[in-house]
């Protein structure tokens, strides 16, 4: 039996006999289970592509042949087969292996792809480049899931790929019937028909694409034979491989809730006792919908991850899963609002980026009362640069007429959601981070919708806390108070538009500082500074946020520290910013920005 540690690259995989290649599969599955249990990661998708990944590297010559992974969390096996077995123990950890393809790691990682439905467009562009340059001796292979075919961008790409039979692209359809949850819609129904014996193959062939399959995606020799035939056709072809998500791990195979899609690290499985932000939202929406029959919920193939499972059970007629199609979700929400409903669109913050045009021109331009609930906002950490929700505040600040809230705890999340759904004049949005919610932070006072979390003895610093940064800001205030600095900590709760009362409060202080886990460009700090400039205020403003880089993966605490968003760093920076004589300067080293700037 070949030893997995002896596989240093695809050439070693190609050198194996058929039996040796088959013997490799159970070793890889054991390694995946052991690794993901320890580090956390996307277990189910990778267990399902073991034989498929081995076959790809036996048929094609990577990196000369370009293998493109759609939704790259299914590329762990690819990492193993391209010489990264020894590093797998560092998966998703600071300075360790990325949970997605990463070009800095290997020449075999072609695109850093972690949002679905895009690989076919990459493949079309790469094949066009080959044709223009006269390159004919290498293949372009795109591995896509059936879930990705629910995204419109995939069909835009197929429309172009099929139009040019002289440009060969091998589309490997990894069909396991799921994304996070069972794949929805007419495409899923058609693929189910294709899996049957003697099924008509009109869908792809009518577009001008050759079709091979369905193939048992766990029969290594059958997959190899289909891929070799596809490579020899020299024109666009779909190889339909039917696989089983979680294959080889009994718990994952039998799980219907997709708990094994992504598993948490063993060290993170101890319950904190606090409910997750996601579950707080989900329960509150269920309660709210009992009184509001016009409330409907929309998800983009992420029913459970966005907290909508209980809503779906209670109100099945009012839950809409559009598949991996955020653009459609947002414009469909505008249509629902036009028809008298109040849609609540629940997305990860990073995925709202994909539907900005629809938010701007279909929802906001029409002043549609749609509520956006953005999970995993701010620094998410171990999923890496594509998943940090550090763009949403900057993008949403551009949208006319949209009101935006950033709850600091579970209580303000519930309150903000009800206020958002009660708004009928235009769109609203609220955003919260990943993980467990913090203990409720009561306000000591409030006025004009602004919560005062701490009143300073002297009006030295106004510290504007955005959302989940409240605990850090209160820590900063305590540290500054020990240095003789008076600090008022406020939470505006609704951060767009900037309240005139917040500007009035700022004018009573010597220094204004804002703290947010969003990119510094165009965030809340920038809006506050702009509002102060418009009243010709001359007081200094410090805006603290995430550096405008693509931040490497690491724990949330590591990323925040590298971004300078710790109480220690902020205290030092504010002491340096105060006018001479205010506070006793504390000489503390400023943390480096080691995770920034790839």
Residues identified as active-site: 245, 326, 354
Can you tell me the distance from the alpha carbon of 288 to that of 282, in angstroms, rounded to the nearest whole number?
Answer: 10
Contact 94, 555 (CB under 8 A): yes
- Find out whether 115 is annotated in a ligand binding site: yes
- Find out whether 15 is annotated in a ligand binding site: no
Bridge partners (DSSP) listed for residue 240: 173
Using CA atoms, how far residue 489 sits from 471, 512, 593, in Å, is: 10, 10, 26
Contact 281, 310 (CB under 8 A): no
Give me the count of residues in the chain. Answer: 598
Pairing of strands 494-496, 541-546: unpaired
Contact 380, 387 (CB under 8 A): yes
The two tokens of residue 527 are 């809006």
Can you tell me the distance from the alpha carbon of 309 to that of 299, in angstroms, rounded to the nearest whole number?
Answer: 10
374 three-class SS: strand
- Find out whether 525 is annotated in a ligand binding site: no
H/E element, 343:
strand 342-348
Summary count for the chain: helices (H), strands (E):
23, 18
Contact 404, 429 (CB under 8 A): yes
Which parts of 204-341 are beta strand (E)?
A: 210-216, 237-242, 295-299, 319-321
- Find out whether 218 is annotated in a ligand binding site: no
Q: What is the DSSP string of 81-134?
A: IIIIGGGGGGTTSTTS--SS--TTT-TT------STT-HHHHHHHHHHHHHHHT
- Find out whether 116 is annotated in a ligand binding site: yes
Return the sign of the alpha-carbon dihedral for residues 431, 433, 436, 439: negative
- Find out whether 342 is annotated in a ligand binding site: no
- Find out whether 326 is annotated in a ligand binding site: yes
Nearest to 513 by CA among 454, 559, 577, 562: 577
Pairing of strands 487-491, 461-465: parallel
H/E element, 144:
strand 140-145
Decide: residue 295, CB within 10 A, 0-12 exposed, 13-18 middle, 19+ buried: buried
- Find out whether 572 is annotated in a ligand binding site: no
- Find out whether 114 is annotated in a ligand binding site: yes
- Find out whether 429 is annotated in a ligand binding site: no
Bridge partners (DSSP) listed for residue 2: none
Can you tell me the distance from the alpha carbon of 342 to that of 296, in angstroms, rounded to the nearest whole number?
Answer: 6
11: alpha, beta or left, given left = phi > 0 and alpha = psi -120 to 50? Answer: alpha
Q: What is the DSSP string of 479-495?
A: HHHHTT--EEEEE-SEE
Exposure string (b/e) for 13-40, b if CB count within 10 Å is 16 or more? beebeeeebbebbebbbebbbebbeebb
Binding positions for Mg(2+) are 146, 176
Binding positions for thiamine diphosphate are 73, 114-116, 147-148, 176, 249, 326
């Amino acid at each position: 039996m070949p030893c997995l540690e002896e596989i240093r690259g695809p050439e070693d995989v190609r050198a194996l006999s058929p039996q040796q290649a088959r013997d490799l599969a159970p070793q890889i599955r054991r390694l995946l289970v052991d690794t993901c249990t320890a580090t956390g990661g996307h277990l189910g998708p990778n267990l399902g592509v073991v034989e498929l990944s081995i076959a790809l590297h036996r048929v094609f010559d990577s990196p000369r042949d370009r293998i493109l992974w759609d939704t790259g969390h299914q590329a762990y096996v690819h990492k193993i087969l391209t010489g990264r077995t020894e590093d797998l123990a560092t998966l998703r950890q600071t300075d360790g292996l990325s949970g997605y393809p990463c070009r800095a790691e290997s020449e075999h990682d072609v695109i850093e792809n972690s949002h679905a439905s895009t690989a076919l467009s990459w493949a079309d562009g790469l094949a066009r480049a080959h044709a223009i340059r006269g390159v004919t001796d290498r293949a372009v292979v795109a591995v896509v899931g059936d879930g990705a075919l629910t995204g419109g961008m995939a069909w835009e790409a197929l429309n172009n790929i099929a139009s040019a039979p002289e440009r060969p692209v091998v589309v490997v359809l990894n069909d396991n019937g799921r994304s996070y949850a069972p794949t929805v819609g007419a495409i899923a129904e058609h693929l189910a028909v294709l899996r049957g014996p003697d099924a008509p193959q009109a869908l792809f062939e009518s577009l001008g694409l050759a079709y091979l399959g369905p193939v048992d995606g766990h029969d290594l020799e059958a997959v190899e034979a289909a891929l070799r035939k596809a490579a020899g056709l020299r024109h666009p072809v779909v190889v339909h491989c039917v696989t089983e998500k979680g294959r080889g791990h009994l718990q994952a195979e039998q799980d219907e809730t997709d708990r094994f899609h992504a598993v948490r690290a063993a060290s993170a499985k101890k319950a904190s006792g606090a409910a997750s932000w996601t579950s707080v939202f989900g329960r509150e929406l269920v309660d709210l919908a009992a009184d509001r029959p016009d409330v409907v919920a929309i998800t983009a193939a992420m029913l459970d991850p966005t907290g909508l499972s209980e809503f779906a059970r209670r109100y099945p007629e009012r839950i809409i899963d559009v598949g991996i199609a955020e653009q459609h979700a947002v414009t469909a929400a505008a249509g629902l609002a036009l028809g008298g409903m109040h849609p609540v669109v629940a997305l990860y913050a990073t995925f709202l980026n994909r539907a900005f045009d629809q938010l701007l021109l279909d929802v906001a331009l029409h002043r549609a009362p749609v509520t956006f609930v953005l999970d995993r906002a701010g620094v998410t950490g171990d999923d890496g640069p594509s998943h940090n929700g550090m763009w949403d505040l900057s993008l949403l600040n551009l949208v006319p007429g949209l009101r935006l809230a950033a709850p600091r705890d579970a209580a303000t999340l519930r309150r903000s959601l009800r206020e958002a759904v009660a708004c009928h004049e235009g769109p609203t949005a609220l955003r919260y981070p990943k993980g467990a919610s913090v203990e409720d932070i009561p306000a000591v006072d409030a006025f004009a919708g602004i919560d005062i979390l701490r009143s300073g003895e002297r009006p030295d610093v106004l510290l504007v806390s955005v959302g989940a940064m409240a605990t850090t800001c209160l820590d900063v205030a305590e540290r500054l108070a020990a240095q003789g600095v008076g600090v008022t900590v406020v939470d505006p709760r609704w951060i767009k538009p900037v309240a005139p009362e917040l500007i009035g409060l700022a004018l009573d202080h010597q220094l204004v500082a804002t703290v947010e886990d969003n990119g510094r460009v165009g965030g809340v700090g920038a809006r506050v500074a702009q509002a102060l400039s418009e009243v010709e205020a001359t007081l200094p403003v410090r805006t603290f946020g995430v550096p405008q880089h693509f931040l490497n993966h690491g724990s949330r605490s590591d990323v925040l520290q590298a971004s300078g968003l710790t109480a220690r760093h902020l205290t030092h920076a504010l002491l340096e910013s105060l006018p001479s004589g205010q506070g006793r300067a504390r000489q503390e080293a400023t943390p480096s920005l080691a995770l920034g700037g790839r």
